[in-house]
């Protein structure tokens, strides 16, 4: 993900969904550092757990529903 957002930034191309996904991944790693050893699909686990807790993710931040 970082490679794609770096290239987009260097070429001046907007990549809002990629940037949002990268922020969500960074937040997931802050809250669950063990996910760093996994690939990006581990974000689904993070999002699923947030949903089970009655929370939603808003650009990387957990928000109570």
Per-10-residue mean pLDDT of the chain, 65 residues long, equals 83 87 85 82 83 78 56
For the chain, the domain total comes to 1
Q: Which residues have CB under 8 Å from 43's CB, separation 6+?
A: 21, 24, 25, 28, 35
Q: Quick one: pLDDT at residue 16?
A: 84
Residue-number span of the structural domain to which 20 is assigned: 2-64
Identify the pLDDT of residue 65. 55
pLDDT given at position 61: 54
């Amino acid at each position: 993900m970082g490679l794609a957002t770096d290239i987009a930034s260097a070429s001046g191309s907007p990549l809002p969904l990629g940037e949002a996904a990268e922020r969500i991944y960074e937040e997931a790693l802050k809250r669950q550092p063990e996910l760093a050893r996994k690939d990006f699909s581990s974000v689904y686990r993070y999002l699923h757990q947030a949903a089970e807790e009655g929370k939603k993710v808003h650009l990387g931040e957990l928000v109570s529903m």
